[in-house]
């Protein structure tokens, strides 16, 4: 049977708005997840480099666990299986939110944080250890030395791999459709189901993901170049 392309169909009626609504949800989901993943990843890095062994063991276990289990399994765990282990106050807060969206943020953040922690640790290890020792010698605590001396340098070093992690998170956000988050992939699937034009629907979604990834990459790259110029002045 001959397939007839109909690009105008998937933008007719409410279909175009569905794509825009899905893109907005993807941006919100990715933005919040990047923020929390960066915070958690930084905390895990500090814990792993501390002298307190229980914190080191916890961070190593966390990183190895989340890096070596599939993201979709983690999404299903947080959505279907985490209820018995979550504190009551957290469950009450979670149920007051859009639980599918909140679960997606939690899963993406906890998963990506493990990779960010390793990238950031490699950046810190590339900084001469004498800088940390000199910082401590001036009277700074370990946390102060990390916050004011080591981490600012490490973040600048690991910007390229961080870009990759952020882009991976944006693409991984499509897996949130498996628990009903109405992000871009979910909306593309809805358009396909209503129009039976899957090629056009998923081509549009693919181009939107590509444009979003290129914009993020370009923005962070320009920021990195600007920081390097300021650093050399």
Average pLDDT over residues 121-135: 86
Residue 6 belongs to a domain:
no
Distance (Å, whole) CA 216 – CA 164: 10
Of 162, 165, 166, 159, give the one whose Cα is nearest residue 27. 166
* Mean pLDDT confidence for 74-102: 85
Whether residue 112 is contained in a domain is answered as yes
Q: Is the pLDDT of residue 95 over 80?
A: no
Q: Kind and range of the H or E element at 113?
A: helix 99-125
- At 25-82, the pLDDT tens digits run 999 999 999 999 999 999 999 999 888 899 999 999 999 999 999 999 999 999 998 8
Contact 126, 153 (CB under 8 A): no
Q: Does 9 map to a domain?
A: no
Element (H, E) at 17: helix 15-49
Q: Is residue 5 part of a domain?
A: no
Chain mean pLDDT for the chain: 88
Q: According to the model, what pLDDT value does residue 116 have?
A: 95
pLDDT band at 136 (very low <50, low <70, confident <90, very high): confident
Contacts of 49 by beta carbon, 8 Å cutoff, 6+ apart: 121, 124, 146
CATH code, domain with 219 = 1.10.3720.10
Which residue range is the domain that position 54 belongs to? 14-232
Q: Which of 86-90, 103-107, 210-214 has the lowest mean pLDDT?
A: 86-90
- Return the sign of the alpha-carbon dihedral for residues 44, 49, 50, 56: positive
For residue 2, the 8-state DSSP code is -
Q: Tell me: the pLDDT tens digits for 191-228?
A: 999 888 889 999 999 999 999 989 988 887 777 677 65
140 or 188, greater pLDDT: 188
Give the model's pLDDT for residue 119.
92
pLDDT value of position 144: 85
Q: Which residues contact 231 (CB under 8 A, 6 or more apart)?
A: 156
pLDDT at 230 > cutoff 60: no
Per-residue model confidence (pLDDT) at position 232: 45
User: Which string of b and e fits 59-92 if b means at least 16 CB within 10 Å?
Assistant: beebbeebeeeebeebbbebbeebeeeeeeeeee
Is residue 4 in a domain? no
Rounded to whole angstroms, how far apart are CA atoms 184 and 12? 17
Residue at token pair 């906890």: 110
Mean pLDDT across the stretch 92-111? 89
pLDDT of residue 188 exceeding 90, the answer is yes
Tell whether 137 is covered by a domain: yes
Percent residues over pLDDT 70 in the chain: 96
Percent of the chain at pLDDT exceeding 90: 53
Domain count, the chain: 1
The rounded distance, in Å, linking the Cα atoms of 202 and 131 is 51
Q: Is pLDDT above 60 for 231?
A: no
Residue 166 domain-assigned (yes or no): yes
φ/ψ of 200, rounded to 5, equals -65, -45
Directed axis angle between helix 99-125 and helix 53-67, to 10°?
120
Residue 115 confidence (pLDDT): 95
Q: Which two tokens stand for residue 121?
A: 């640790």
Q: What pLDDT shows up at residue 173?
A: 95
State pTM to two decimals: 0.89
Distances (CA, A) of 146 to 44, 58, 124, 149, 229: 13, 19, 9, 6, 24
User: Can you give the C-alpha Rg of the chain in angstroms?
Assistant: 21
Residue 187 lies in a domain: yes
């Amino acid at each position: 049977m001959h397939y007839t392309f109909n690009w105008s169909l998937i933008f007719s009626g409410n279909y175009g708005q569905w794509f825009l609504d899905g893109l907005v949800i993807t941006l919100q989901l990715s933005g919040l997840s990047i923020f929390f993943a960066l915070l958690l990843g930084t905390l895990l890095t500090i814990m792993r480099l501390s002298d307190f062994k229980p914190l080191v063991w916890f961070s190593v276990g966390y990183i190895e666990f989340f890096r070596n289990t599939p993201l979709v399994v983690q999404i299903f765990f947080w959505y279907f299986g985490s209820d018995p282990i979550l504190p009551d106050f957290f469950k009450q807060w979670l149920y007051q939110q859009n639980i599918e969206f909140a679960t997606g943020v939690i899963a993406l953040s906890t998963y990506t944080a493990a990779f960010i922690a390793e990238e950031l640790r490699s950046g810190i290890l590339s900084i001469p250890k004498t800088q940390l020792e000199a910082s401590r010698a001036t009277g700074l605590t370990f946390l102060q030395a990390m916050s004011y001396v080591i981490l600012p340098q490490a973040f600048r070093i690991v910007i390229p791999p961080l870009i990759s992690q952020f882009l991976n998170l944006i693409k991984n956000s499509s897996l949130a459709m498996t628990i009903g988050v109405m992000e871009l992939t979910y909306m593309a699937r809805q358009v396909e189901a209503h129009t039976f034009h899957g090629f056009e629907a998923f081509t549009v979604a693919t181009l939107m993901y590509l444009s979003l990834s290129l914009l993020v990459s370009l923005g962070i790259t320009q920021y990195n170049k600007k920081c390097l110029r300021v650093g050399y002045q």
